[in-house]
Structure 1
Amino acid sequence: MPYTQFSLEQIKLNFGIEIREKFGIFANLSEVDYSDFLEKVLERFVPFALEIDTPKSRSEYITAPILFELKSQLKEQISLFSGKDFTVDIEKGLSGFCDFLISYSSDPLNIEAPFIVLVEAKKDNMIGALGQCMAKMLAAQLFNQRRQQDIQIIYGCVTTGTDWKFLQLIDQRIEIDLQDYSITNLGQVLGILHYCVDQVE
């Protein structure tokens, strides 16, 4: 099955993954400043995206600019991929395309060391997208293991653009942060993304 078909129950059954829920895993991290340019872009386009209210509009006008800001801040430290085929193991069902994928590599053309997976929630259904996000996190973990990439934690995020929910995969355990993070506190969202990058170093 492709990533989009996975549910939480299927993740547990198919991969023997332990799933834990915790509140505020990322809540106390330092905020990160962002550019005036990003602030102006979101000020102008968030209302427009919410008026259209499709996953594509939210992705293009909200999520993508935030990730571009992250890329701009971290320069060659990471690469950002969108809509790229990320088929890792067809037999295990780990196949399909990524919404957004962040790699700890300066290569802008090839996915080399994926460690952050972002999934767009359809119809604002954050919970419904968790299975898909987890499947892509497991694919990233397997991808790195096969290439002997020493990345201990894979991070995941399900987002509507305006709301962000974060997860982390450690060995055979996935932890879900029950707290949702909003772009009304954008510095906090960027702070979490920076933290994820820092853990790979």
Structure 2
Amino acid sequence: MSFDSYKNIGEVLQEFQITATEAEFIVESEITIRAEFREDLEFSLREFSFEDSEYAVCEMIIFPILKEVYRSYRDSFTLWSHKAIIYDQKLSGIPDYILAQRSALGKQVFEKPYFLVVEAKKDDFIKGWGQCLAEMVAVEKINNQPSQTLFGVVSNGKIWEFGKLNNNLFTKETRYYTISDIDRLLSALNFIFGECEQKPGF
């Protein structure tokens, strides 16, 4: 069974005995956004069609936004695109994006993941969160640090939803963020990157 076999969060909660709750855990703060990034994102949104292409959403919206925040954290992390994760037969697959600890051996070496991003294909956030939580469970088992907080995002490009997993407690951020308020969205992502940087190894 791969990650995308899970149809919703409930299936993952039951199978792995995880408790779910909701809270406001993201702390927003002002972040400087480069004018070049704003212009490029506006160009992409204006010039390209995203309705029929999941790849376009990933490549032209989700990844550029992640990359913009990643620029400030590149000494600590490596941002992976479509990197396979395999824990066992039930927990395996290819997350869209992974933020992992940067290896001292080089950017080619995959180290501990902290943050997973899943595209809500066909705007299906219910299935997207089932897949994302399954990926977070796999990473928790791979890292073998149950007390470590892991983060996840499900996005269709326009809407971004956040969650975190710690010690079999999944917390969904009650607020969602949108591309129409890019400052708040990047502030939320910056908070997540900063939280990951506080983990063991940094």
Checking the alignment, whether the CA contact within 8 Å between 2:120 and 2:127 is kept in structure 1 is yes
Q: Deviation per CA, 1:111-150, whole angstroms, max 9, x where unpaired?
A: 21101000000111222211000001111111111xxx69
- 1:61 paired residue number: 60
Q: TM-score, normalised by structure 1?
A: 0.88
**Which amino acid in 2 is paired with 1:79?**
T
Matching residue within 155, 158, 164 for 1:159: 155
Unaligned runs of 5+ in 2: none
What displacement does 1:39 show? 0.5
Checking the alignment, whether the CA contact within 8 Å between 1:152 and 1:170 is kept in structure 2 is yes
Find out whether 1:197 has 2:193 as its counterpart: yes
Checking the alignment, whether the CA contact within 8 Å between 1:49 and 1:62 is kept in structure 2 is no
Structure 1 CA distance for aligned equivalents of residues 122 and 100 of structure 2 = 27
| Equivalences for residues 69-84 of structure 1 within 5 A | 69-84=68-83
Checking the alignment, whether the CA contact within 8 Å between 1:31 and 1:189 is kept in structure 2 is no
Checking the alignment, whether the CA contact within 8 Å between 1:101 and 1:114 is kept in structure 2 is yes
What displacement does 1:77 show? 1.4
Find out whether 1:103 has 2:113 as its counterpart: no
- 2:2 paired residue number: 2
- 1:30 paired residue number: 29
Structure 2 CA distance for aligned equivalents of residues 4 and 167 of structure 1 = 18
Structure 2 CA distance for aligned equivalents of residues 113 and 30 of structure 1 = 27
Checking the alignment, whether the CA contact within 8 Å between 2:50 and 2:57 is kept in structure 1 is no
**Which amino acid in 2 is paired with 1:72?**
R
Find out whether 1:20 has 2:21 as its counterpart: yes
Unaligned runs of 5+ in 1: none
Structure 2 CA distance for aligned equivalents of residues 96 and 51 of structure 1 = 24
Checking the alignment, whether the CA contact within 8 Å between 2:159 and 2:176 is kept in structure 1 is yes
What displacement does 1:185 show? 1.9
Structure 1 CA distance for aligned equivalents of residues 47 and 126 of structure 2 = 25
**Which amino acid in 2 is paired with 1:95?**
S
Q: TM-score, normalised by structure 2?
A: 0.88
Q: Deviation per CA, 1:36-61, whole angstroms, max 9, x where unpaired?
A: 12111111002344454422111111
Aligned residues: 194
Structure 1 CA distance for aligned equivalents of residues 67 and 177 of structure 2 = 19
